[in-house]
Structure 1
Amino acid sequence: MMTDKQKTLANEFSISGKGLHTSCLVTAVFKPAPENHGFKFKRVDLDGQPILEADANIVGDTSRGTVIQKGQARLSTIEHALAALVGMDLDNVLIEIDNQEMPIMDGSARMFAEAIEKAGVVEQDAEREYLEIKEKIVYKDPKTGSELIALPDDDYRLNVMISFNSSVLSNQFASLESLADFKKEVAPCRTFVFLRELEFLLQNNLVKGGDLDNAIVIMDREVSQEEMDRLADLFHHERIEVQKDKGILNNLDLHFENECARHKLLDVIGDLSLAGVRIKGRIIATKPGHGVNTEFAKLLKKEFQTRKRNDIPEYDPEKEPVMDVNKVKQFLPHRFPFLLVDKVTEITDDHIIGIKNVTVNEPFFTGHFPDEPVMPGVLLVEAMAQCGGLYVLHNKEEKYSTYFIRIDNVKFRRKVVPGDTLIFKMELTSPIRRGIANMKGLCYVGKSLVAEGEFMAQIVKN
């Protein structure tokens, strides 16, 4: 499990501009936020100043950008700002916005990223949570052929492939191996539009805030100069023509040959942030779009919530333990045959995970039972209690002992037999006060819960 710290802005900053589709003038103020806040948007122009969370479950529309909505409160085109927040390594930010659409700026995330860099990023005390991809997760839209896949990896990495029925823009590929490269490799990449789409949008009273400098216009058919002049006039732009070798208008130069694919990668980062959790894994997106992106974000969010609800600890025998058995013996007074924790694999601010390998040579199997060896339930409780004692004592410089003064709601779910590896999770249920610790204990074999209980212990100086 990755366990780095959450981050927020060191200082607030504001960005103003036009909304792409509404042409509304809008100012967005990005503010530091407390731990575990996430990304949230506050519509300060509406009564009650409603807050819209960056949450895939409140996505209301994806036809021309990602839109979140709660009741009558709505906010459009949030993906570029969200991509910048993730790409610049932030977790908790409040964005106060005074209109219904985020400013489009130059059609990329560059200005957001630069403003974040200037404002600064600070580390917070709380641990950052991750959705670690353990096995393949797939979402596919059979109508479009769009597909997103999440695979195990040791960091957040993305591969994006786009494909269009166009002689100018057919297939492109982009990848990002580290978010550390986001600002340079992805943030400057602008949105793009085909000429045929642009004409449709104009006819339907959309892209009212667009101009020819905040999008790459793909010219996938022959047009006359007269038509080009008319297009320039519609956007109050100086005369333009097609760059014949590239099939785009000459109003701008490409930052990268595959800028369109890189922009789609940018959109994927922004949309997947709606899962509400950092991702550790490789995302492979084929023909992505806001619709499939946000549906995939819902899948990832559901997976994370399911894991958190079940909260099953994982045991990697190759990982170096936090405490081996010799270290365990420095804190616990127990010895053979009553030391029931072999090692500790994780200790955080509120829980500990310990391991016990159950072998047929355990002395209690001699009488419990000779023909059907089963680990006594009372020893499962004792093992959990010892693991809880390690949590309480591991940071004490002087010698202390723990004496359990109350054990409640103990349940046994299945037998523990020779060959099982017990995984204990002891979690603090309230702050330690006046030398009293309250903990919830869980004991697993693999993903199966075998025992649980609630423990109260008194911490006594020797």
Structure 2
Amino acid sequence: MNEKQHTIKAPVTVSGIGLHTGVMANMTFLPAPANHGYKFQRIDLPGQPIVDADVDNVVDLSRGTTIEQNGARVNTVEHTLAALVGLEIDNVLIQLDGPEPPIMDGSSIAFVESLQEVGLEEQNALRNFFEIPEGIFYKNGEREVEMAALPLNDYRVTVMVDYQSPVLGSQHASITNINQFPTEIASCRTFCFLHELETLYKQNLIKGGDLNNAIVVVDRVVSEEELSELATLLRKPKVEVKKEGILNNVDLRYKNEPARHKLLDLIGDLALIGRPLKGQILAARPGHAANVAFAKKIKKVMQEAAIQNVPVYDPTKEPVMDINRITQILPHRFPFVLIDKIIYLDESTVIGVKNVTMNEHQFEGHFPGNPVYPGVYQIESMAQTGGILVLNTVPDPENYWTYFLGIDKCRFRKKVIPGDTIIFKCWLLAPIKRGIAKMQGQAFVNGKVVMEAEMSASIIRKDNV
């Protein structure tokens, strides 16, 4: 899995009819900055409102996942989102001049191929994974749906479907690595049973449905009269069951194509959690309603974890900045370089790492025989971390100084000793104005807050000093 965030190198457009609305639409994927996430924009509506791809914005689950925000609605988003997750694209703005993404052939492959054609661009920010901390479970006894998310340092998905149909039977599909999605899952098409078609039309759905963009499973004997009625319904001169179980002799791309499409839908719906996942997802008889309910349950766990506000540090991952890059930006030198790595950086937040060792000179005179990392050094380490954040707002940070202006509400919660790894997190409390930055900072050791403070600093060009 990619460790860095990615967007696309250039805009790309796909066009077609919406499955349920039957409305033609052009959908354009646009590059977006780090930490932007997935957002839809209805450019056909006044004010061109934005709709965040968020599970809290789901408003309808009638044979697809529909989201709504700011007075704008986007229908059937799951195939589009699945393509983005499957290509490990983190940030993109999706502009639509209609209410629904094009259904294309009923799968995600057209989106995947278009995005691959323009190519991906790595961004200078780490992916903000949500790692499943413990088992998260969802069950709907009435529909015999069971779903589980289990801890795993990867993203694996397994789906089982059983429609008690002699045509489909019981099917399984799985991916053990997300990079299998483009070749193994993306081309698998949506499907429905023959007995569902008339009901869907009566519900004012599948207006754009066609035998070219969906598999119709024939699970019973059909008379010639019914086939004639179906032809009228589907606006076809003739429909027939040439191959047992499938209308109009559509060849399945895989024997378990329906199960693979359910896996595609699940990946797309879980994208609405808002962060890439690390975990093993197991789903028996999933559907959009269950997927969204499960996604909400995962998001609730994610939000509860976020309240604890504890950054996760994996020393095996490549940092955003190593010590060489840090010393190119900060003016500090031995013995006052007090930050070793930057592991996260965006427009408003920075996370840095300081490894405390007994070899540091301050332990010679600070509590000899009882080495405790000085509080003033903790503050300075946090300030240097925050300095990286402030300097990240200018294109040439090497040409600027940052100066402390104030420290407020500083508290030391627990002593820090040699052998500890301190994780410093600083975030802006307000936009930087007139070169003045106000930040909140916290320091963590082993997941516990050891120090916190509010800080203010100024940023000044060196040639103005």
The TM tier, using the shorter chain, reads 0.7 to 0.9
Deviation at 1:308, TM superposition (A): 4.1
What is the CA–CA distance in structure 2 between the aligned matches of 1:213 and 1:302, rounded to whole Å?
39
Higher CA-based Rg: 1
Residue 378 of structure 2 corresponds to which residue in structure 1? 383
What is the CA–CA distance in structure 2 between the aligned matches of 1:418 and 1:119, rounded to whole Å?
50
Structure 1's unaligned 5+ residue stretches are: none
8 Å CA contact 1:11–1:120 kept in 2: the answer is no
8 Å CA contact 1:174–1:262 kept in 2: the answer is yes
Residue 150 of structure 1 pairs with residue 145 of structure 2 = no
What is the CA–CA distance in structure 2 between the aligned matches of 1:165 and 1:242, rounded to whole Å?
22
AA aligned to 1:385 is E
State the identity as a percent. Answer: 42
Inter-CA distance 444–67: structure 2 relative to 1 (3 Å threshold):
same
What is the CA–CA distance in structure 2 between the aligned matches of 1:348 and 1:93, rounded to whole Å?
19
Residue 290 of structure 1 pairs with residue 288 of structure 2 = yes
What is the CA–CA distance in structure 2 between the aligned matches of 1:30 and 1:301, rounded to whole Å?
28
- Within 5 Å, which residues of 2 pair with 1:67-216? 67-70=66-69, 72-216=71-215
Residue 452 of structure 2 corresponds to which residue in structure 1? 452
AA aligned to 1:176 is I
Deviation at 1:264, TM superposition (A): 0.5
204-213 or 182-191: which moved more?
204-213
8 Å CA contact 1:388–1:426 kept in 2: the answer is no
Residue 51 of structure 2 corresponds to which residue in structure 1? 52
What is the CA–CA distance in structure 2 between the aligned matches of 1:93 and 1:418, rounded to whole Å?
44
AA aligned to 1:30 is T
What is the CA–CA distance in structure 2 between the aligned matches of 1:297 and 1:384, rounded to whole Å?
39
Residue 352 of structure 1 corresponds to which residue in structure 2? 352
Corresponding residue SS for 1:84: helix
Residue 222 of structure 1 corresponds to which residue in structure 2? 221
247-256 or 293-302: which moved more?
293-302
AA aligned to 2:152 is D
Q: Count residues in correspondence.
A: 438
Corresponding residue SS for 2:407: strand
- Within 5 Å, which residues of 2 pair with 1:256-335? 256-314=254-312, 333-334=334-335
Summarize deviations over 1:216-259 as a string: whole Å, max 9, x none: 22222222244234323421333411523xx2224310000110
8 Å CA contact 1:277–1:301 kept in 2: the answer is no
AA aligned to 2:226 is E
What is the CA–CA distance in structure 1 between the aligned matches of 2:213 and 2:415, rounded to whole Å?
64
Summarize deviations over 1:378-425 as a string: whole Å, max 9, x none: x234334246548869x9xx9xx999674321123x444889946331
Corresponding residue SS for 2:249: coil
Inter-CA distance 70–343: structure 2 relative to 1 (3 Å threshold):
closer
Q: Provide the TM-score with structure 1 as the length reference.
A: 0.78
RMSD: 4.2
Residue 394 of structure 2 corresponds to which residue in structure 1? none
Inter-CA distance 357–315: structure 2 relative to 1 (3 Å threshold):
farther
Residue 407 of structure 1 corresponds to which residue in structure 2? 407
Q: 1:254 aligns with which of 252, 255, 263?
A: 252
Summarize deviations over 1:338-360 as a string: whole Å, max 9, x none: x9x797684757331224489xx
Summarize deviations over 1:309-344 as a string: whole Å, max 9, x none: 543123568889967xxx9xxx76459xxx9x7976
8 Å CA contact 1:195–1:218 kept in 2: the answer is yes
Corresponding residue SS for 1:46: coil
What is the CA–CA distance in structure 2 between the aligned matches of 1:316 and 1:85, rounded to whole Å?
25
What is the CA–CA distance in structure 2 between the aligned matches of 1:72 and 1:418, rounded to whole Å?
54
Summarize deviations over 1:282-322 as a string: whole Å, max 9, x none: 22222111112122222333444444454312356888996
55-64 or 36-45: which moved more?
36-45
What is the CA–CA distance in structure 1 between the aligned matches of 2:95 and 2:344, rounded to whole Å?
37
What is the CA–CA distance in structure 1 between the aligned matches of 2:76 and 2:156, rounded to whole Å?
23
What is the CA–CA distance in structure 2 between the aligned matches of 1:31 and 1:318, rounded to whole Å?
33
What is the CA–CA distance in structure 2 between the aligned matches of 1:319 and 1:208, rounded to whole Å?
48
46-55 or 422-431: which moved more?
422-431
Summarize deviations over 1:183-233 as a string: whole Å, max 9, x none: 221111111111221232234443232122222222222222442343234
